[in-house]
Structure 1
């Protein structure tokens, strides 16, 4: 609807980013895909500011602009942040679990 009825493609891109985040939550929490946990965490951390705080600030300050070109820039930026989340989630800084059947969720 953001792309067609409301004519706000930037917000359409933001909604697509949140749809991806909700899909990740479903995969990790609903289907127990534990290997996506770190990626999901980093995705939430990295996408939270540009998809919530930044648009809110721009709207409150009267500087929010939307057009297909601006939406494309947002899409590229958010996709880049997902790639950064992928890289950060691949870097392991903690010790692996010692018990093979230790539950991932409590």
Structure 2
């Protein structure tokens, strides 16, 4: 059985927005690869949103609803990126505790 310190925080949440973890020694398994793909998509989406920010904020004609929508999307992306950072930080610590 995988030690609790070796659980991987997955990039999605479960029921009631509780974190999901993967317990496996196989980092190339299906769920691990799926999690890698989801993390990559989440990071790409966050980058796309960040690219939109200057144009939206510099547009004097931007509607308040457009700015609120962007802010909601940014907050959601920040939660995802934070989860990815925590997960990858934990993976680094498990892989080589001397790197942290």
Scaled by the length of structure 1, the TM-score of the pair is 0.40
Name the one with the larger strand percent.
2
